[in-house]
Structure 1
Amino acid sequence: MEKEKVVLAYSGGLDTSIIIPWLKENYDNLDIIACCVNVGQEDDMEFVKNKALSSGASKVYIQNVVNEFVEEYVYKGIKANAVYEGKYLLGTAYARPLIAKKLVEVAHKEGAKYIAHGCTGKGNDQVRIETAIASLDPFIKIIAPWRIWDISSREDAIDYAEAKGIDLNGITKKRIYSRDQNILHISHEGGMLENPANEPDFDELLMMTNTVEKAPDKAEYVDIEFKEGIPVKLNGEKLNGEDMLKALNKVGGTHGIGVIDLLENRLVGMKSRGIYETPGGTLLIEAHKYLESFVLEKEAAHFKETISSKYAELVYNAMWFSGLKDAFDAFIDITQKNVTGTVKLKLYKGTIKFAGMTSKYALYNESISSFSTGDLYDQKDATGFIHLYSLPYKIQALNEMNNSKNGSTEVVYTFKE
């Protein structure tokens, strides 16, 4: 009898490495196909492939989607200025719907009825992965070992891996941080970070970014050019999404840019603490915000701030494949038609300073905004504007004055002919 097939979201890390032998023990009727979606995690993919095969997978897919991840997912968030709870640039949340999409594609190609993943039962990613899968193919069934096996901690997972002879690639019970990396960011959770009273040991934690103390003592300038909200050139050189983010990660990481310590409200109802490194993404979103302030009309800019916040919540909360996100994208794309120009940033020891910008669509006009009188703005015109603008406040004051004098709530106005 031919076995049913399961596609396993495989990274080669602790959680997914132990899932292969566990599936073989508990689902002997399943043929395990590992699928590693490369979104820029800088792993040795040949090592990952061989590890999956040696652990019991019958076949391994390595999907390189780094540029697609940047241009079709990350850049949408940059255009939206999406930042969750004022700090988090959503590095993990952008990657999950793309990973789910690739898992479904492999499942269709292989005729697999099941998809398995290594997301824990306490995390957001289980919701993101499974909601995305359901949005793309509601008939695929999910196997989520962390919700059903007896392994209850990363220490238990390490013991299980050692018992099965699985290469832990440097993971120990002392260095037990849970990390997620892609080209946009790397997150660090677990270990000593679980106690909010502990100050992070950044010398031990950081992998993409220098500590502020180790950052250069000399500032560096970067020029980022945008076209309709999309970054297209760095210091005059045209780059695709992958190369743009790699280059900005390097320069931003050198200067200690984009490290946050976040106590966040998870989708699943609890608070969690994580250290996030997002050097290149931080540079992009700050440059984009500056440029928008230069070219967007006032009401569009103010309303977009509301959309930005809701967009971040939507992405964080597993709604990538939703009608609401499509509607937001349509609005955001319209706002980006004039977000074209170049922004200069000054980087120094973890800080980003504005250093100038240019755009042919600038709504800032020096002849109007300066203290000098220009042809386009007559300062005398402000008198009539102020009379009209202040009218409701004058009426309010008159009401209060009449009420206090007469002790009456009825106000009688007398108009001169």
Structure 2
Amino acid sequence: MSEPEKRGLFGRLFGKAGKPAEPVAEPPVPVAEATSPEPTPVDTVAEPSVIPDAPAEPPLEPAVAAEGPAPVEIEVEPEPETEAPSEASSSLEITPAVAVDLTPPTQVKTSWWQKLKSGLGRTSSALTSGIGAIFTKRRLDDDTLEELEDILIQADLGLATATRITEALRKDRFDKEITDDEVRAVLAAEIEKVLLPVAKPLEIAGTAKPHVVLVVGVNGSGKTTTIGKLSMKLAREGRKVTLAAGDTFRAAAIEQLKIWGARTGATVVAREPGADAAGLAFDALVTGRENGSDVVVIDTAGRLQNRAELMAELEKIIRVIKKQDPTAPHDVILTLDATTGQNAVNQVEIFGKVAGVTGLVMTKLDGTARGGILVAVAEKFGLPVHFIGVGEGVEDLEPFDAKDFARAVAGLER
């Protein structure tokens, strides 16, 4: 048996330099290896010696060819599979309305006052404790009025309202003894005067079908939850509702609105996260018109009022809505988080300029001692306040009542 035959495959690959290789009749195997994007373990070992000692036996070439392309198949095959789901998810998703039980729980009306009073407890406590510390059978003078004004401002009632209250006391009780109960009575009366003109329910006139409600606000102000609760109220009034999951930045918001749609029997129009919010609003109006909805409520992504590019996107949504109906949106509701305090004033100003806010919903009054900010906003802007929220339950959003709110803030009974 000749020397090359004795050495076998291992010997041919790692043969001694002194032995001349037999003539090669076919192109060397490394040419085929160049097609592989990454070197395999066989390539790494063979690279220094395969070129001078390339074997002539046919079995070697198929063996290398079988091993070389394998990594390429592993990397390339999955690529078309990742594209298919994204194409499928880009289609419009419409969750149709289903029949649900819309019967409200019993004794809702009688318990709302207790919920409101409890929700405003922290605001009331901060005010009444401060007032009680000042007025204990004490004559009303300039010093006490100044102290009272500081307390009212710290409760975010605003300078204008604080001045209104102190001037009312000065006019009737200056230099006279006055109790904290009397001060709280004046406080409630003056707050009610400020709030009465803005306590207006959300009216669905029926002149436009569908009536379009656009809900805007900063991150975390409670837009999606407010929409769900509003959808329930509209459904109980016998109105057909379509909801648009326009907060396309958050997958959780889309799923949350679908849940509310299932609870309230509303049609939900949605796309995948990251979709164009203006296009979704357009589709929602088309869907609402086709299915005979009375109201289309459009959710939007939370955006800070100082982010110009996000506010520009909101303007785009409104322009697209107007292409469907030049009179829409018929209501632009701004949700305000009571815990933000004086920042709410700035939010109303900026969103009012960009989106043309027509009404307000104040949320999370149960989580702050700064509920007086609603009074400051009403005094400055005079925008209708449609609802206030004092909890997470579906029954914890109620039409705004100025007298109840004023008495709850002042710590008085109904």
TM-score of the superposition, structure 1-length normalised?
0.21
TM-score (normalizing by structure 2): 0.21
Name the structure where strand makes up a greater proportion of residues. 1
Would you tell me which structure has more helix in proportion to its own residues? 2
- Structure with larger Rg: 2
